Amino acid sequence: MHISHWQRAIVFVDMDAFFASIEQLDDPALRGRPVAVTNGMQGTCIITCSYEARARGVHTGMRIREARQLCPELVRCASRPQRYAQLATLLSDTLREAISPDLEVFSVDEAFIDVTRCQRLLGSPPDIARRAKQLIEAVVGLPCTVGVSGDRTTAKYVAKLHKPNGLGVVCPAQARDFLHDVPVTRLCGIAEGIGRFLAARGVYTCGDMAQLPVGILGKRFGHPGRRIWLMCQGRDPEPIHPTVAVPKSLGHGKVMPPETTSRQVILTYLLHMSERLAARMRQHQLQARSFSIGLLTRYGWLGDTYRTPTPTQDGKIITALTRSMLDEYWRGEGVSQVQITALDPVPVDGQLELFAEPGTPVHGARNQAMDRINQRYGELTLAPARLLKRTEMPNVISPAWKPQGPRQSI
């Protein structure tokens, strides 16, 4: 069935093996070869890999040693998150300008575009999807897969079926039949826990969902439950979100060598994350009072939430909190990861130093000077001496990455 004008049209863009494709783009010698990207040359877990590697059985999450048993000629590349974020920003800016401002960056390599209002100008939704795909290939020379339908869930699922370098179209009137035999857990947003809840009520495929009263899902999951009921019938009502909500928390973490037991090494990692978090808050004019500080061990997370007398964006103050946590909770267990999160970031009101409690260190001018130097010459160009011994493993792109604002985090 062909409909010249769709009442609602959503295009989903998914970059193919994005990080590995960028490595092949920047180094022509890698094109056509199996490539795996790891977090630096010390990282052993594959972040992503090229389709040439996937054809040999290599996959995301696999260890390099295991991957090379399957594919001895595998080329290992250290991740370059700044480069990946740079191209992701270019892509989102290009699509927003040339296709539609109604664009939502879903992740660093995925985006939804509402093209409902573009049809009179740019043509049918399938034509617009082809236009977006050609534009991406022309601007950066990277492959992508595009899905288009009348709602975001169906568009995303049809794109998955056409990877790599494909284009999938499902007209809104055909979406329900298209999804009928698809297992519910194949749709984005339906995790295993929800899948078990549905299976217990006889719902295994999207077609089964029509037999389950929507009130059952609404009572158990609230509004998300009602959305799930509609998603499975090709009627996902969720709109595109062009604007990015202010984050309710800001955090930074780092994976460490397994079973690290050196207090000095752990302190170095905690100092690094404290300074990174503080610099990020200053960059976006935020401050916080509550900080969650944790260490991951083989027995689970150690740590607690700590509060400062007044809101802060100073790395020294946050570092002092991490020392308190270490003294209180750590008893020599092997540590594999550190995490520091500001739980209540709020905009700076300009009165922080005026109302600082007696004895609270104030380093506003020093921090501003340090930030200017680091922004010009690179992160931690000017930093506490202990960080000279920090890990050489690069930073990583946050799962919540967005091209602007506090979520533009690496």
Catalytically active residues, by annotation: 110
What is the distance between the alpha carbons of residues 243 and 50, in angstroms, rounded to a whole number? 32
Give 1's Cβ-side CA count (13 Å radius): 11
Which phi and psi angles does 252 have, rounded to 5°?
A: -140, 140
Assign 106 to helix, strand or coil: strand
Helix (H) or strand (E) holding 276: helix 263-283
**Is the distance from CB of 53 to CB of 71 less than 8 angstroms?**
yes
Instruction: Using DSSP, state whether 267 is helix, strand or coil.
Output: helix
CA dist 338 and 301 (Å) reads 9
- Tell me: cis bond preceding 384? Omega within 30 of 0 counts: no
58 to each of 11, 376, 381, how far by Cα in Å? 29, 39, 37
Residue 82: both structure tokens together: 């700044």
